[in-house]
Chain A
Amino acid sequence: MIKVPHLMLEGLNLSLIRQDHPIINGVNLNVGNTGICGLVGANGSGKTTLISLMAGLITPDAGEVRMTGMGGMAPSPLRIGLMMQKPVIMRRSIYGNCDYVLAAQGVAAHERKARIEEGLALVNLYALRHQDARTLSSGEQQRMALARVLIADPGVLLCDEATSNLDPQSTRMIEAIVKSKAKDGLPVLWVTHNLAQLRRLASRVVFMDQGRVLAEQEISDFFEAPASKEARDYLYFESV
Chain B
Amino acid sequence: MTPPNTKNGFFQCFAGFNKNDILSRFLVMELLIAIKQAFVLLATGDADLYEVIFLSLKVNLTAVGLAAAIGLPLGALLATTKFRGHSALVALINTLMGLPPVVVGLFVYMMISRSGPLGVLELLYTPTAMIVAQMILVTPIITALSRQALARMHADYQPLFIMLGLPPRKRMMTLIKDGWVDLLTALLAGLGRAMAEVGAVMIVGGNINHFTRVMTTSITLETSRGNLATALSLGVVLLFMTLMINALVVTLGRRAQHD
Partner of B164, one of A78, A84, A89: A78
The answer to the question of A132 belonging to the interface, with a C-beta cut-off of 8 Å to chain B, is yes
- The answer to whether B259 touches A132 (Cβ under 8 A) is yes
B contact residues around A77 at 8 Å (CB): 163, 165
Q: Which of B133-141, B154-162, B190-198 contacts A (4 or more CB under 8 A)?
A: B154-162
Q: Is B174 at the interface (CB under 8 A from chain A)?
A: yes
B170 CB–A CB distance under 8 Å: yes
Q: Which residue of A lies closest to B170 (CB)?
A: A104
User: Interface residues of A, CB < 8 Å — how many?
Assistant: 19
* Proximity bits, A74-118, B CB within 8 Å = 1, else 0: 000110101010001111100000001100110000000000000
CB–CB A91/B163 < 8 A: no
Is B179 a contact of A91 with CB atoms below 8 Å?
yes
> Which residue from chain A places its CB closest to the CB of B156 in the assembled complex?
A88
**A100, B160: Cα distance in complex, Å:** 10
Instruction: Please measure, in the bound complex, the distance between the C-alpha atom of A178 and the C-alpha atom of B170, giving whole angstroms.
Output: 31
Q: Is A55 an interface residue (CB 8 A)?
A: yes
Q: Given A57, A89, A90, A132, which contacts B163 in the complex, CB threshold below 8 Å?
A: A57
Residues of A within 8 A of B174 (CB): 100
CB pair A134–B259 under 8 Å, yes or no, is yes
Q: Min CB distance, A114 to chain B, in Å?
A: 20
Residues in A neighbouring B179, C-beta threshold 8 A:
91
User: Size range of the interface on B?
Assistant: 10 to 19
A104 to B157, CA, bound (A): 14
Collect the chain A residues with CB atoms within 8 Å of residue B157's CB: 88, 90
Chain A residues in 8 Å Cβ range of B164: 78, 101, 104-105
Q: Does A44 contact B (CB under 8 A)?
A: no
Interface majority SS (helix, strand, loop, mixed), chain B? helix
Kindly state whether residue B48 has any CB partner on chain A within 8 Å.
no
| Inter-subunit contact B259/A91 (CB<8 Å) | yes
A56 close to chain B: CB less than 8 A = yes
Q: Is the CB of A90 within 8 A of B165?
A: no
Q: Closest residue to A97 on the B side, CB-wise?
A: B160
CA of A84 to CA of B163, assembled, Å: 11
User: With an 8 A cutoff between CB atoms, is B166 at the interface?
Assistant: yes
Query: Could you say which residues of chain B place their CB within 8 Å of the CB of A84?
Result: 159
Considering only residues 140-183 of chain B, those with a C-beta below 8 Å from chain A are: 153, 156-157, 159-160, 162-166, 170, 174, 178-179
The answer to whether B163 and A78 touch across the interface, beta carbons within 8 angstroms, is yes
Report the Cα distance A40→B174, complex, angstroms.
36
Instruction: Give the CA-CA distance A56 to B162 in the complex, in Å.
Output: 8
Binary flags per residue of B52-63, CB closer than 8 Å to A gives 1, else 0: 000000000000
Extra A-B contacts (7), CB below 8 Å, given A84-B159, A101-B160: A56-B163, A57-B163, A80-B163, A88-B156, A90-B160, A91-B178, A101-B164
Binding site for B on A (CB under 8 A): 55-57, 77-78, 80, 82, 84, 88-92, 100-101, 104-105, 132, 134
A-B contact pairs, 30 of them (CB 8 A): A55-B163, A56-B162, A57-B159, A77-B163, A77-B165, A78-B163, A78-B164, A78-B165, A80-B163, A82-B163, A88-B156, A88-B157, A88-B159, A88-B160, A90-B157, A90-B160, A90-B178, A91-B153, A91-B178, A91-B179, A91-B259, A92-B178, A100-B174, A101-B160, A101-B164, A104-B164, A104-B170, A105-B164, A132-B259, A134-B259
The 10 A-B pairs of least Cβ separation, nearest first, read: A88-B160, A91-B178, A104-B164, A78-B165, A88-B159, A57-B159, A82-B163, A57-B162, A91-B259, A88-B157
